[in-house]
Amino acid sequence: MFNEDLAQFFDTSDFAVEVTHIPASGGSARTFRAIYDDPYLNPQLGMYELDTSDPRITAPWPLVASVKRSDIVIVNDTRHTVLTWPQPDGTGLGILKLSAVTGDEL
Q: Tell me the per-residue pLDDT of 65-97, one tens digit each, with 9 for 90 and over.
A: 999 999 999 999 999 999 999 999 988 899 999
User: 15-105, what's its fold?
Assistant: Thrombin, subunit H (2.40.10)
Asked whether the predicted pLDDT for residue 47 surpasses 60, the reply is yes
Sign of CA dihedral 64, 66, 70, 73: negative
- Give pLDDT, residue 3: 63
Nearest Cα neighbor of 16 from 3, 30, 5, 32 is 32
Query: Contact 93/59 with Cβ under 8 angstroms?
Result: yes
Nearest Cα neighbor of 71 from 62, 81, 79, 63 is 81
Quote the percentage of the chain above a pLDDT of 70.
Answer: 92
Mean pLDDT of the chain: 87
Q: What's the predicted TM-score (pTM) here?
A: 0.81
- Give pLDDT, residue 40: 77
**What value does the CA radius of gyration of the chain take, rounded to a whole number of Å?**
15
